[in-house]
Structure 1
Amino acid sequence: MIINIARKELKSLFASPMGWTILALLMALLGNFYLTGVNKYFEVMSGAVRPAERVGVTIFVGQTVFGIARYIMLFAVPLLTMRLISEERRNQTLPFLFSAPISLTEIVLGKFVGLIIFLSILIVYIFMMLITLNIWSDIDFGYLLANSFGLWLLLGSFSALGIYFSSLTKQPIIAAILSFISLFALIFLESMFASDPNHWFAYISLMKHFQSFSRGLIDTSDLIYFFLFISTFLTLTIRRLDAERLRG
């Protein structure tokens, strides 16, 4: 049943102009930064005389693309999650979901999985774009895989938080604004507490736990953090809908 709901959400994304528009804009922006990164690499490396100053093309271009991707998604994901539940409430179709022979867990997970599949298209696009560097240079596939996996977890966290806020209101715009503000705070918490990196506020920063992936490493503690973050907000969403169903 989760797969059926995910398929329905995925079809609705591609059936709406917004889904195609967001996908096209993101691909165009990421493609532009990829070309910018390649051109800048040749400009910088042509002036680096000493071998110690040279940087691998994978890291140089990868940092540019993955670095901008996480901030672009900060704006895109709230726009995609805002309608997942709030629109059901606004259109008064949420009671039909409550009365359907499926659990709230299946409903929430189905919507989450559908959105993740949609966002995975962009991650695959980024990965395929970067491996074209292998045509004329040896690249670090491990670095690309770690960054892609880290970005996938980061977008999963964005989506889980966005779905939760979508469950709180029947106004999609309000849900998008709340999601953006919360994600913005969670991303830049580490910068706010740069003077005290051991502060627990700095530790819950999403970007702090993405850093190891951005260096081409996979840290177990970061995997646990993202898993707990995603499961926490999906659980909160399920409880929010369950409380609403009990109230009738």
Structure 2
Amino acid sequence: MMILTIASREFRTLFLSPMAWTILAILQFILAFLFLTQVEAFAELQPKLATIEGAPGLTDIIVPPLFGNAGIILLLVTPLLTMRLICEERRNKTLSLLLSAPISNIDVILGKYFGILGLLLLIIALITLMPLSLLSGAELDLGKLFANILGLLLLVSAFTAIGLFMSCIAGHPTIAAMGAFGMLLLLWILDWSAGMSDQRSELFAYLSMLKHFQNVQSGLISSADIGYFLLFIITFITLSIRSLDNDRLQK
């Protein structure tokens, strides 16, 4: 399939530049430090927790903060990965060659989307190895760990879809990155602003990415939260395809 061909090319291209390697190294260093900090905090609290009935366990203290911090860091990183996807092709005059090839716009958009998502899946896999390393000497709630993996996967999938759309409509990679970051940050803090007023806005609460991510993280996986992320992903991928349709019509 052309989608897999484009995705594979995009994934390989990421590792031809130092950016992907640098991002992987910095992410692992930061998250490993945060992970070890949480493990140390649990070790200090364990004697007190043992005397409290219904106290949070190892998984509750380590896994959600780790994946929550990863979500915040990836909110900053994803726009840097997606900013060049389409607008760089347009600036280098290679987009017209791509659009003149016998492939559909759906193939182009999904191929580039899955190429970036491949790198983010690798990052999630490396993050998951950290709490799994504790299984050698402790017990983990694997159900809650799976919920956090699923939540982070849905989150970065939505991040990538928005970043791809901004790359389609922006004229410069820097503008695409800034636009994607601004939109993601707004969706992240939307529920905070809703909570500042006496009358909580149900619309803001529903649109907030943070709220849905935290719901999945807690282990209460509902169709409403899954549907929210899927709707977001489908909407922005569709808008990206429409944007590329306009580019093809102008050629």
Could you say which TM-score interval applies, normalised by the shorter chain? over 0.9
**Which stretches in structure 2 are left out of the alignment for 5+ residues?**
none
Question: After superposition, where does 1:154-169 map in structure 2 within 5 Å?
Answer: 154-169=155-170
Partner of 1:167: helix, strand, or coil? Answer: helix
Are 2:217 and 1:214 aligned?
Answer: yes
Residue 237 of structure 1 aligns with which residue? 240
Q: Shift of residue 24 of structure 1?
A: 1.0
Q: Shift of residue 213 of structure 1?
A: 1.3
Residue 137 of structure 2 aligns with which residue? 136
Quick one: which amino acid aligns to residue 162 of structure 1?
G
The whole-number CA distance in structure 1 between the counterparts of 2:63 and 2:105 is 39
Residue 181 of structure 2 aligns with which residue? 180
The whole-number CA distance in structure 2 between the counterparts of 1:72 and 1:151 is 11
Residue 6 of structure 2 aligns with which residue? 5
1:33-76 deviation line (CA, Å, top 9, x unaligned): 11011001112223446222632101101122111111001110
Do 1:45 and 1:54's aligned partners in 2 also have CA atoms closer than 8 Å? no
Aligned pair count? 248
Give the 4+ runs in structure 1 shifted more than 4 A.
Answer: none
TM-score (norm 1): 0.96
The whole-number CA distance in structure 2 between the counterparts of 1:44 and 1:243 is 58
Do 1:6 and 1:111's aligned partners in 2 also have CA atoms closer than 8 Å? yes
Q: Shift of residue 201 of structure 1?
A: 2.0
Pick closer, same or farther for the CA change 1:197–1:135 going to 2, 3 Å: farther
Question: After superposition, where does 1:39-78 map in structure 2 within 5 Å?
Answer: 39-48=40-49, 50-52=51-53, 54-78=55-79
Partner of 1:55: helix, strand, or coil? Answer: coil
Pick closer, same or farther for the CA change 1:23–1:128 going to 2, 3 Å: same
Partner of 2:169: helix, strand, or coil? Answer: coil
TM-score (norm 2): 0.95
The whole-number CA distance in structure 1 between the counterparts of 2:117 and 2:184 is 17
State percent identity of aligned pairs: 43
Are 2:120 and 1:119 aligned?
Answer: yes
Quick one: which amino acid aligns to residue 120 of structure 1?
L
Partner of 1:51: helix, strand, or coil? Answer: coil
Residue 84 of structure 2 aligns with which residue? 83
Quick one: which amino acid aligns to residue 152 of structure 1?
L
Q: Shift of residue 135 of structure 1?
A: 1.3
Are 2:29 and 1:28 aligned?
Answer: yes
Q: Shift of residue 134 of structure 1?
A: 1.3
Quick one: which amino acid aligns to residue 115 of structure 2?
G
Q: Shift of residue 170 of structure 1?
A: 2.9
Question: After superposition, where does 1:101-116 map in structure 2 within 5 Å?
Answer: 101-116=102-117
1:195-235 deviation line (CA, Å, top 9, x unaligned): 44442122111111112211022111111111110010000
Do 1:143 and 1:217's aligned partners in 2 also have CA atoms closer than 8 Å? no
